Structure 1
Amino acid sequence: MSTRSPKQALDAAVEAGRWSPSVHNTQPWTFAVSGEEISLRADTARRLRAADAAGRELLISCGAALFTMRVAMRCEGYEPAVRILPDPDRPALLATIRPGEETQADEPTWVLGGEIERRRTHRAGFADVPVPEQLIDSLVSAAAAEGARLTPIRSAEAVGVLAALTQAAQTLQTQDQRFNLDIIRWARPPGSTRADGVPADAYPQEPAPTEPDFPQRHYSWRHGWGAQGTPAEAATGVVAVLTTRSDGREDWIAAGQALQHVLLHASAHGVSAAFHTQALEMDLLREFLRQELCSGEYPQMIMRLGVTFDDDKDVPRRPISDVLE
């Protein structure tokens, strides 16, 4: 049983939560500790103004933080007691989590916990190394455990459609000043000391196209930033879509928890994810995907999974003093 105090479990959960993935590394969350309970709150000032007007991606990001805290609390020896959207009169309060009964973390939980600070978002192509089918199956199960569905896209034609829609959305967004301002706001120049956003060395200066091509965000935006020395060719990896049956705030939080479960499990097996949310940020394209490729379920994330060339770069994170109220 646990030899850690509830206070230590709370501290560990908050520290872990800030390492979670978020759209453009916005880290749109704050934590408040009262007694033996953590409140997870949405930092709506960090919402993407054009791309995420409804706050869907913000809540997915916060859902990822919630799952991370659950894992950390189990590793500290306590079963997390969680309430989702506990107060309708406080919409920014997304969840509360507190140490419940003492427990002994099992091996899979320890493995997930060990990846919290090691996991990295990838923003390029992958090495030409296959992802084992057994691992893909386990990632599908990880998403299902959190109430979402992860569907690997097996058909080359369907992969082509997803790539084409991503290309179309990327082209349209680069012509739209509102979307460009979202990118500019969260792109960090070389040498920046900011603790959020996407660093200039976190993506290739000249990305190698995949086949079919899934374009990345133009974080450098005419500045020529980016890491040099990237491969001339890159593999696409396994394309997958994360969906939910309905599309409310609770579903978005569930999608975030499922996403982080998938990412941590994949990271433990040397597999990273590259995200492509462009088409999901345009209502008509997202609805087309829902009807034509997702069997009526709501797409929450499009990703590619694969083995990376090099993903050991430091990731900026806001200090505890910024996120803990």
Structure 2
Amino acid sequence: MNRPASRSPKAAVEAAVEAARWAPSVHNTQPWTFAVTGEEISLRADAERRLRFGDAEGREMIVSCGAALFTMRTAMRRAGYEPDVRVMPDPDRPALLAVVRVGAESDPDERTSVLAAEIERRRTHRAGFTGLPVPDRLVEALVKSAAAEGARLTPVVAPDAVTVVAALTQAAQGVQAQDRRFTLELIRWARPPGSTRTDGVPAGAYPRDPVRTQPHFAQRDYSWRHQWGSETGDPGATGTGVVALLTTPGDTREDWLAAGQSLQRVLLHASAYGVSAAFHTQVLEMRHLREFLREELCSGEYPQMIMRLGITFDDKDAVRRPVEDLLG
């Protein structure tokens, strides 16, 4: 049993908000704000940070906020309190996604402590993986982690199916690369070297000249028309890793929020065992390709995330907005 050294509702609220800012988000847009009232935190989507063209419906924005919500829940448990959560509490305020209140005192179990320890360590990977395998038992445990939050994580095992997902990713990336709207939106969130911005994707967080995986999973072209990007990394890391699809039975805002919570639980669990994730959301931003994926590979469920899980030794720094910028 892990009893917090000091415990107070105020400290639990502060810990939850501090932790939430480390959640993953598309292009590191960090599309969330928090309002604190006593022992209660309101999580709101920040529509100004939504991708206007890539995420017109706000699905990726809400998935990102779901990841922040799970992070808050985990941090509050680690601080010694059970979170009392209400999702989508007010139909007249669509930006208000959840309210988290400090609940009864509780001692965090080992699983909570393990997940909480990874909140600031977890990193998104944007290249190939080493040839080291992800243990089958870990993959099975990640599937259970996703299910515990209401989503389904399906490893794509058949080589032909992996090839299909890779081909869809290439097709979506190729189409988006020819669309000036998508390209300009992408480079808005690509930070130049030496930038002091606390959001977006740093130039050192993706390779300048990415090594192709086999089959090839196309990466976002953050270095479009410039030579930004990192020269570091393992040039021999060409492994695809374990390809996995995160799906939900429905495609409502509640499903998107649940998908984000499942995603973050999976990512923190994987990180605790040295496994990182690379994301490929291009397919999910194109309605026809997403529908094809749903019908052909997702058994009719709605794909909310495409990821590759693998092992890398290419450590990167992470940037996040300060807490004071998130409170409103």
TM-score range, shorter chain: over 0.9
- SS of equivalent residue, structure 2 residue 75: helix
Cα displacement (A) at 1:314? 1.5
Distance in 2, matches of 1:302 and 1:229, equals: 25
* Aligned counterpart, 1:266: 270
Corresponding position: 1:279 with 2:283: yes
8 Å contact from structure 2 (residues 130, 236) kept in 1? no
Amino acid of the residue matched to residue 148 of structure 1?
A: A
Corresponding position: 1:81 with 2:84: yes
* Aligned counterpart, 2:186: 183
Cα displacement (A) at 1:309? 2.7
Relative to the length of structure 1, the TM-score reads 0.98
Alignment map for 1:94-113 (pairs within 5 Å): 94-113=97-116
* Aligned counterpart, 1:321: 324
* Aligned counterpart, 1:247: 251
- SS of equivalent residue, structure 2 residue 303: strand
1:115-148 CA-partner distances (Å, limit 9, x unpaired) = 0000000000001000000000000000000000
Amino acid of the residue matched to residue 209 of structure 2?
A: E
Cα displacement (A) at 1:220? 1.1
Distance in 1, matches of 2:237 and 2:114, equals: 32
Cα displacement (A) at 1:232? 4.2
Distance 1:118 1:229, change over 3 A: closer
Distance in 2, matches of 1:280 and 1:117, equals: 27
- SS of equivalent residue, structure 2 residue 203: coil
Distance in 2, matches of 1:182 and 1:151, equals: 30
1:75-102 CA-partner distances (Å, limit 9, x unpaired) = 0000000000000000000000011011
Relative to the length of structure 2, the TM-score reads 0.98
Q: 2:170 aligns with which of 155, 167, 171?
A: 167
1:234-286 CA-partner distances (Å, limit 9, x unpaired) = 10000000000000000000000000000000000000000000011000000
* Aligned counterpart, 2:305: 301
- SS of equivalent residue, structure 1 residue 302: strand
Corresponding position: 1:218 with 2:221: yes
Corresponding position: 1:127 with 2:134: no
Corresponding position: 1:48 with 2:51: yes
Corresponding position: 1:29 with 2:7: no
Cα displacement (A) at 1:37? 0.3
Consecutive aligned runs of 4 or more in structure 1 exceeding 6 Å deviation = none
Amino acid of the residue matched to residue 247 of structure 2?
A: T
8 Å contact from structure 2 (residues 77, 106) kept in 1? yes
* Mean Cα deviation higher: 83-92 or 221-230: 221-230
8 Å contact from structure 2 (residues 150, 262) kept in 1? yes
How many pairs align? 324
Q: Superposition RMSD on alpha carbons, in Å?
A: 0.9
8 Å contact from structure 1 (residues 273, 303) kept in 2? yes
Gaps of 5+ in 1: none
- SS of equivalent residue, structure 2 residue 205: coil
Cα displacement (A) at 1:229? 3.9
1:41-83 CA-partner distances (Å, limit 9, x unpaired) = 0000000011100000000000000000000000000000000
8 Å contact from structure 1 (residues 209, 233) kept in 2? no
Distance in 2, matches of 1:225 and 1:35, equals: 44
* Mean Cα deviation higher: 81-90 or 178-187: 178-187
- SS of equivalent residue, structure 1 residue 196: coil
Amino acid of the residue matched to residue 274 of structure 1?
A: A
1:167-207 CA-partner distances (Å, limit 9, x unpaired) = 00000000001111210110000000000000000001111
Amino acid of the residue matched to residue 263 of structure 2?
A: L
8 Å contact from structure 1 (residues 112, 265) kept in 2? yes
Distance in 1, matches of 2:237 and 2:261, equals: 33
- SS of equivalent residue, structure 1 residue 201: helix
Corresponding position: 1:291 with 2:295: yes
